[in-house]
Amino acid sequence: MTRVPFIELAAPPAVQAELDAAVREVLASGQYILGERVRAFEEALAARCGCRFGVGVNSGTDALELSLRACGIGPGDEVIVPAFTFMATALAVTCAGATPVLADIDAASYGIDVEDAARRVTPKTKAIIPVHLYGQPCDMDALLRLAERRRLRVIEDCAQAIGAASRGRPVGSVGSAGCFSFYPTKNLGAAGDGGAVVTNDPAIAERLALLRQCGTRDKVRYEMFGRNSRLDELQAAILLVKLKYLDGWNEARRERAAWYREAFAQEGLEQVGLPQELAERRHVYHLFVVRVAERDRVQQELAARGIETMVYYRRPLHVDSLYADRPAMAAPLPRAEEAAREVLALPMSPALGRDAVAAVVRALREAVGAYK
């Protein structure tokens, strides 16, 4: 039986040697917090995203919350978010003191449905958070039109999509702020938690720098209620090394997505829905997510055949969650609910072999056939 792990996190030997050297340099320097490596990474990330400023923080969740606060969003405000996303997207809104308002998704991209979001705008609405889920950019042109018409901030959740682009514009560069996670499994992963925000607005960048450092510049005068949310030097050094390889790794993911499509065609597996490559959007395949009926049973069959898979996400935020008992969340969101029943993430990483891809699709054909 061929065993295929869901993800491979070990760096190639040459990259690992660079990482080892970078870590040793930080340890020898005695400089661990907000030093030259953090600054260098912030500048490199901002440049990579086509933005003027980058601010490192300690997680993607904090990147979202602090961006909201830097934009002046808090108690009494509403923020529209997609119902089908990781809990952190809505949690960041709640932690900023605002109220998340859940919208349905577009079935093709898994991003927020702009028309549904527009119906949920009220006088209290101050922002919208598009989530570039699985590595696929949202319809940013339509979102920007809505935001301009209703005077809303757009704060991009790019946690799964670094390197993706919409109409040639990198994700994170389109809205007021772009928020990234460097959790180890991400396309650009640290050796622990980490996050960052990119922006073209100097006022937002300045407020973010204060918010991540307990609201102070000098530890003498405190200008706002911030917190300790700093990206440390060790993680920045690791990310600086990996950032050089990001484009190549993303291309490798896209190549493996193409292998999957070829294998599905060869197996004639039409009962499974494949991720879409949408016009003028560059998908970077953080995850290769298919749609399948009897998803949980199929996943069990795949596990029995040695194929590791994951479900992102089993419940939309308005169902059986922290937000389920709130009256504003009671309305059905059918596309989010259908996705939660059917999505299945297959193994994906830049190191995934072609034979492994073929083995996954063969096993999937057998698993789906077991429940016809």
Tell me if 356 is assigned to some domain.
yes
Q: What is the mean pLDDT of residues 113-139?
A: 97
Domain count, the chain: 2
CA 200 vs. chain centroid, Å, equals 20
- Strand 78-82 and strand 125-128: pairing? parallel
Domain identity same for 214 and 333: no
Domain identity same for 65 and 139: yes
CA 162 vs. chain centroid, Å, equals 8
Tell me if 1 is assigned to some domain.
no
Tell me if 130 is assigned to some domain.
yes
Domain identity same for 223 and 342: no
pLDDT tens, position by position, 151-160:
999 999 999 9
pLDDT given at position 268: 87
Percent of the chain with pLDDT over 90: 89
pLDDT tens, position by position, 19-56:
999 999 999 999 999 999 999 999 999 999 999 999 99
pLDDT given at position 177: 98
Q: Which two tokens stand for residue 127?
A: 């922002």
pLDDT tens, position by position, 275-301:
999 999 999 999 999 999 999 999 999
Domain identity same for 40 and 188: yes
Domain identity same for 228 and 273: no
Question: At a CB cut-off of 8 Å and minimum separation 6, what does 224 contact?
Answer: 207, 210, 211, 215
Last residue of one domain, picked from the residues 200, 217, 243:
243
**Is the pLDDT reported for residue 220 higher than 70?**
yes
Domain identity same for 95 and 181: yes
Residue whose entry in the numeric block shows the structure tokens 């197996």 = 267
Residue whose entry in the numeric block shows the structure tokens 């590791």 = 308
Tell me if 213 is assigned to some domain.
yes
pLDDT tens, position by position, 306-360:
999 999 999 999 886 787 776 555 578 999 999 999 999 999 999 999 999 999 9
**Is the pLDDT reported for residue 213 higher than 70?**
yes
pLDDT given at position 371: 59
pLDDT given at position 217: 87
Domain identity same for 273 and 151: no
Domain identity same for 182 and 318: no
pLDDT given at position 332: 84
Q: What is the mean pLDDT of residues 222-250?
A: 96
Cα–Cα dist 143/130, whole Å: 8
Tell me if 3 is assigned to some domain.
no
The CATH number of residue 322's host domain is 3.90.1150.10
Tell me if 7 is assigned to some domain.
no
pLDDT given at position 329: 59
pLDDT given at position 324: 73
Tell me if 203 is assigned to some domain.
yes
The CATH number of residue 70's host domain is 3.40.640.10
Q: Strand order in 125-128's β-sheet?
A: 53-57, 195-199, 177-181, 153-157, 125-128, 78-82, 99-103
Q: What is the mean pLDDT of residues 171-175?
A: 96
pLDDT given at position 11: 87
Cα–Cα dist 361/341, whole Å: 20
Whole-model pTM above 0.85?
yes
**Is the pLDDT reported for residue 203 higher than 80?**
yes
Write down the H helix ranges in 125-222. 140-150, 202-211
Domain identity same for 308 and 186: no
| C-alpha dihedral (14, 136, 290, 349), degrees to nearest 10 | 0
Last residue of one domain, picked from the residues 183, 211, 243:
243
Euclidean distance between the first and the last CA atom of the chain, given in angstroms as a whole number: 23
Give the domain extent around 36: 13-103+110-243
pLDDT given at position 79: 97
Domain identity same for 222 and 281: no
Percent of the chain with pLDDT over 70: 97
Cα–Cα dist 106/115, whole Å: 9
Domain identity same for 335 and 365: yes
**Is the pLDDT reported for residue 372 higher than 60?**
no
Beta strands in the chain (DSSP E): 53-57, 78-82, 99-103, 125-128, 153-157, 165-166, 169-170, 177-181, 195-199, 281-282, 288-291, 343-346
Cα–Cα dist 83/89, whole Å: 9
Cα–Cα dist 17/22, whole Å: 9
Sign of torsion over alpha carbons 77, 81, 83, 84: negative
More confident residue, 264 or 219: 264
Last residue of one domain, picked from the residues 243, 270, 296:
243
pLDDT given at position 327: 59
Domain identity same for 184 and 255: no
Tell me if 223 is assigned to some domain.
yes
